[in-house]
C-alpha cells in the first residue's frame, strides 16, 4: 500500500523490516529494491537485487527480478 501511495521511503523501511524477520526470502529484497529505484537510489537498489538474486528463487521469481533489474538500469 505504501508503494501505491507513493511513500517509497516508508515502503523501503517496511521491506527492510520484512527482510530482517525472514532473511531467506527474496520478495522483500526485490520490492525493497523497487522502492529504492522509485526513490532515485539506483545504486542501493542494485545491491538489493544482487542479494535477492543469490537466494533460492523459482523461475517466475527470477524473471520478475530480472525485469526489475532491467528497469533499474534504464
What's the pLDDT score for residue 74?
A: 67
Q: How far is CA 38 from the centre of its chain?
A: 11
What's the pLDDT score for residue 7?
A: 93
Higher pLDDT, 34 or 69: 34
| Tens of pLDDT, residues 36-57 | 988 999 999 888 888 888 777 7
Q: How far is CA 14 from the centre of its chain?
A: 11
Domains of the chain listed by start with CATH number: 2-73 (1.25.40.10)
Dihedral (C-alpha) 40, 34, 12, 52: value to the nearest 10 degrees? Answer: -120
Alpha-carbon span 17 to 40, nearest angstrom: 20
Please compute the mean of the pLDDT values over residues 5-25 and round it to a whole number: 86
- Report if pTM > 0.85: no
Give Cβ neighbours of residue 27 (< 8 Å, ≥ 6 apart).
18, 61
Query: Is the pLDDT assigned to residue 16 strictly greater than 80?
Result: yes
Amino acid at each position: 500500500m505504501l508503494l501505491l501511495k507513493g511513500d517509497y521511503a516508508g515502503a523501503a523501511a517496511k521491506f527492510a523490516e520484512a527482510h530482517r524477520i525472514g532473511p531467506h526470502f527474496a520478495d522483500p529484497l526485490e520490492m525493497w529494491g523497487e522502492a529504492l529505484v522509485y526513490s532515485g537510489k539506483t545504486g542501493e537498489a542494485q545491491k538489493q537485487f544482487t542479494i535477492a538474486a543469490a537466494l533460492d528463487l523459482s523461475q517466475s521469481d527470477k524473471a520478475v527480478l530480472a525485469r526489475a533489474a532491467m528497469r533499474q538500469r534504464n
